[in-house]
Amino acid sequence: MLEIGRDRIDTASSFVDYIQDSYGFSKSSAWYCLNKLRELGLVEFANRDEPGKPLLLTKAGEHELCAIERSKIELMSHFNNILYNMMTQRNSAISRGWPG
C-alpha cells in the first residue's frame, strides 16, 4: 500500500513488474497481495469486467494508508534493528571462526 500511495498506476501488471524488479518478490506473490487488497476493498484495478482501469487505493485504502504512514518510521526502525542484530550476530560468529 505504501508503494501504491496516492498514485494512479496505469496498470496492475506494470506495478507487479516494478515490485519484482525493485524488491525481488515473485510476480505470483505480488499478484496474490494485490488480489487480497482488492478483496479487502483497499485497492481497485482492471479486471475482465473493467478493462483499462488503473491501480489505485479506494477511500478505505487511503484511510488505511494514513494509519500506515503514521507508523512507517516505527516499522522501518523495527526492521532496521532486526537487520542490525542479524549482522552483529553474523560478524560475531565469523570472528569466532564459525563461517555463518
For residue 82, is it within any domain?
no
For residue 95, is it within any domain?
no
CB 34 within 8 A of CB 15: yes
DSSP 97: T
Host domain of residue 52: 12-70
CB 9 within 8 A of CB 54: yes
Q: All 3 cell numbers of residue 44?
A: 481497485
The whole model's pTM is what?
0.69
pLDDT per residue as tens digits for the range 21-41: 999 999 999 999 999 999 999
Distance of CA 2 to the CA centre of its chain: 7
pLDDT per residue as tens digits for the range 44-53: 999 888 888 9
Q: Say what the pLDDT of residue 21 is.
A: 95
For residue 3, is it within any domain?
no
Q: Which pLDDT band holds residue 100 (cuts at 50, 70, 90)?
A: low
For residue 45, what is the domain's CATH number?
1.10.10
